[in-house]
Amino acid sequence: MAGEEGACGVCGTAAKLRCGGCSNVHYCCRDHQRKHWAQHREECRPIKQIESAQDGRYLVASRDLAAGQLVLNESPVVCGPTGTCFPLCLGCHSAITDLEAFRCPGCFWPMCSPECHQKDLHAKECGILAQDVKRVGPPTSLGVTPRYDMILVLRCLLLREANPTIWDRLMTMESHVDARREQQEPYHMAGVRFLTEVLNCGFDADTVHRVRGIMITNCINIRGPKGEHLRGIYPNIALLNHSCLPNLTIRSDVNNALYIRTAVAIKKGDPLVFSYTPPEEPLWERQFDFQNVYFFSCKCRRCGDPTELGTHYSSPRCPKCPEKFLEPRDGVDAPWKCPECGEKRESQEIKDEAERHVKDIDERCSSAGEVESFLTGITRTFHDSHYVWVTAAQASLRVLKNDTSLAALKLQQEIWRRLMGIYQLFEPGLTRRRGVSLFQLSMVETRVAQTQRAEGELTPPAYIAALARILRQLDDRHSAAERRLAPGRRRGRGSPSRRELIRYSLRCIMSGDSEVGIGGHASECAWLRVRSQRGSERDPGSTTHTVLPPRSPAGN
């Protein structure tokens, strides 16, 4: 590949030829390019690291990339339990089902067998954990516990001796240590005290604060092969910045390696980004996490638009002019205003109202008969792309799953179409969620046609035409619903066809790998703590922020 001039990666002379894989290295001739390959192949990735005062270090595409391309794959340099988890074995990470079956003779932490306590993974930390003579660390029940939070910090600290190269790399990573100290988040503080006061881990409190900060800022939560809640540090992947409109997908394999692919076509020089939070969270939840866990404010196109790309995803209707929606023009925590009449409401009221509706969903949406009126009722207060509507729609699909009446099938079809439109906006391209939704939509559409034929609503030619339309639709790049939500969008350019999307999702599901969920970046523990401080604690067993095993968006 030729282009602007640089210095040859082998001899340093002026060179125009560039590596076709990454575009990052120049060569003066083919011979030098071939010679360099043995060394370069390890680092040949279509990514480039850059830095800015506002965004820190981040990765951009070093050449134009098509959708579905692998841009980075990496194994964790250190891996361990998430901040809150069910008890698991520190030797192999398997779930512990009987606390007393086997305890490590050195440190008293529950393990699955004597072989596990001798494994390398545990051997080094065992000596330090054994200093906890009063046994304040080991879990005392089989429930979810925060006691494992410090295990990964300890494993990171032990790298200073065990692998100085990785330790040096860890020390270059963002920690937000000063902000975290100031924040005095209770679990952070308790963890640092445990490692420096209960145990003598050999490190001063400053280093432990910093290492835990590095962990919270950079860890990716994954699901182990048996569904274990784990997290790991992947130094290159940790350089990816966040956007609520991600252009990447992340998946894991059974060895906890991660694979980053492009979800959409990406231009050379564009930032490579994924979402640290689940895209279905409302604006205030996302912004809270960015400010309190990651210490930045998101300026993506979605957060910067008070209508969230025309969806009014977090806005209620204006009480005075119900065709309009209140908007957070002065920031998410300031009063929200109607752009038409200027009517204002406090942001807390807006959040509380939405949460009240979400709490009602399971109670008021428990039978197929209730679903339609409930969903219609919601639209009196919110837009039909609002997060309350999306949450209710996903719950409704679970309720409607076993109802084979034509009315229920048509309702499912309408809900899947609408959800596809919203997912297309917030998670565009080749994402498993879109693929699974499209698959479900096509199945439901087929069942609608079959039922209509069986009930005599469709003649044989009309039935064949309906099936042909469903197949044709799979080659269309955006559904009618998607175009309705994003009217300006140019049809299909650079994005995968719907058939490709389904093929992609099925491949993911059949190969048994897991998707790094949305927001897998955070430590569960941090989320839980910070959230509990603001009084809206999640179910500690929630897997929302972890790498989930294959499942459909509606949880089917």
Note the residues at the interface with ligand SAM (CB under 6 A): 55-58, 173-174, 176, 217-218, 238-239, 241-243, 294-296, 298
Nearest to ligand SAM of 82, 241 (CB atom) = 241
Nearest to ligand SAM of 286, 317 (CB atom) = 286
Element (H, E) at 26: strand 26-27
From the list 172, 192, 170, 194, the residue with the least C-alpha distance to 183 is 192
415-420 long-range contacts (CB < 8 A, ≥24 apart) are: 415/375, 416/440, 416/441, 416/444, 417/441, 417/479, 417/480, 417/481, 418/384, 418/385, 418/393, 418/481, 419/390, 419/393, 419/394, 419/553, 420/479, 420/481, 420/482
Angle at Cα 73 formed by Cα 72 and Cα 79, nearest 5°? 130
Nearest to ligand SAM of 294, 313 (CB atom) = 294
* β strands within 218-298, DSSP E: 220-223, 229-233, 241-242, 248-252, 258-262, 273-274
User: Could you identify the residue written with the tokens 């079809």?
Assistant: 413
Query: Which residue of this chain has its Cβ atom nearest to ligand SAM in the complex?
Result: 56
Phi and psi of 328, rounded to 5°? -85, 65
Nearest to ligand SAM of 232, 553 (CB atom) = 232
From the list 98, 212, 236, the residue with the least C-alpha distance to 154 is 212
Task: Give residue 424's identity as a one-letter amino acid code.
Answer: Q
Nearest to ligand SAM of 271, 339 (CB atom) = 271
Residue 523, SS3 per DSSP: coil
Task: For the CB of residue 165, give the shortest distance to ligand SAM in the complex, in Å.
Answer: 18
Nearest to ligand SAM of 109, 294 (CB atom) = 294
Task: For the CB of residue 52, give the shortest distance to ligand SAM in the complex, in Å.
Answer: 9
Task: For the CB of residue 6, give the shortest distance to ligand SAM in the complex, in Å.
Answer: 25
Task: For the CB of residue 297, give the shortest distance to ligand SAM in the complex, in Å.
Answer: 7
Task: For the CB of residue 515, give the shortest distance to ligand SAM in the complex, in Å.
Answer: 19
Task: For the CB of residue 249, give the shortest distance to ligand SAM in the complex, in Å.
Answer: 17
Contact between residue 30 and residue 4 where contact means Cβ atoms under 8 Å apart: no
Nearest to ligand SAM of 176, 209 (CB atom) = 176
Chain centroid, CA 443 distance in Å: 27
Task: For the CB of residue 175, give the shortest distance to ligand SAM in the complex, in Å.
Answer: 9
Nearest to ligand SAM of 104, 516 (CB atom) = 516
From the list 218, 229, 225, 227, the residue with the least C-alpha distance to 76 is 218
Task: For the CB of residue 429, give the shortest distance to ligand SAM in the complex, in Å.
Answer: 19
Contact between residue 266 and residue 65 where contact means Cβ atoms under 8 Å apart: yes
Contact between residue 224 and residue 256 where contact means Cβ atoms under 8 Å apart: yes
Nearest to ligand SAM of 196, 292 (CB atom) = 292
Contact between residue 1 and residue 22 where contact means Cβ atoms under 8 Å apart: no
Task: For the CB of residue 51, give the shortest distance to ligand SAM in the complex, in Å.
Answer: 7
Nearest to ligand SAM of 291, 450 (CB atom) = 291
Nearest to ligand SAM of 86, 288 (CB atom) = 288
Nearest to ligand SAM of 58, 463 (CB atom) = 58
Nearest to ligand SAM of 218, 514 (CB atom) = 218
Task: For the CB of residue 262, give the shortest distance to ligand SAM in the complex, in Å.
Answer: 18
CB atoms within 10 A of CB 75: 12
From the list 479, 368, 361, the residue with the least C-alpha distance to 418 is 479
Beta carbons within 8 Å of 29's beta carbon, 6+ residues apart: 8, 17
Task: Give residue 383's identity as a one-letter amino acid code.
Answer: H
Task: For the CB of residue 160, give the shortest distance to ligand SAM in the complex, in Å.
Answer: 20
CA gyration radius, the chain: 26
Give the integer Cα–Cα distance in Å for 529 and 536.
10
Burial 387-396 (b: 16+ CB within 10 A, else e): bbbbbbbbbb
Nearest to ligand SAM of 138, 519 (CB atom) = 519
DSSP string, 310-360: TT-TTPBBPSSSTTSB-B-TT-TTSPEE-TTT--EE-HHHHHHHHHHHHHH
Task: For the CB of residue 555, give the shortest distance to ligand SAM in the complex, in Å.
Answer: 28
H runs (alpha helix) in 194-240: 205-218
**How many alpha carbons fall within 13 Å on the CB side of residue 384?**
17
Task: For the CB of residue 276, give the shortest distance to ligand SAM in the complex, in Å.
Answer: 7
Task: For the CB of residue 65, give the shortest distance to ligand SAM in the complex, in Å.
Answer: 19
Burial 171-194 (b: 16+ CB within 10 A, else e): eebbbbbeebbebebebbbebbeb
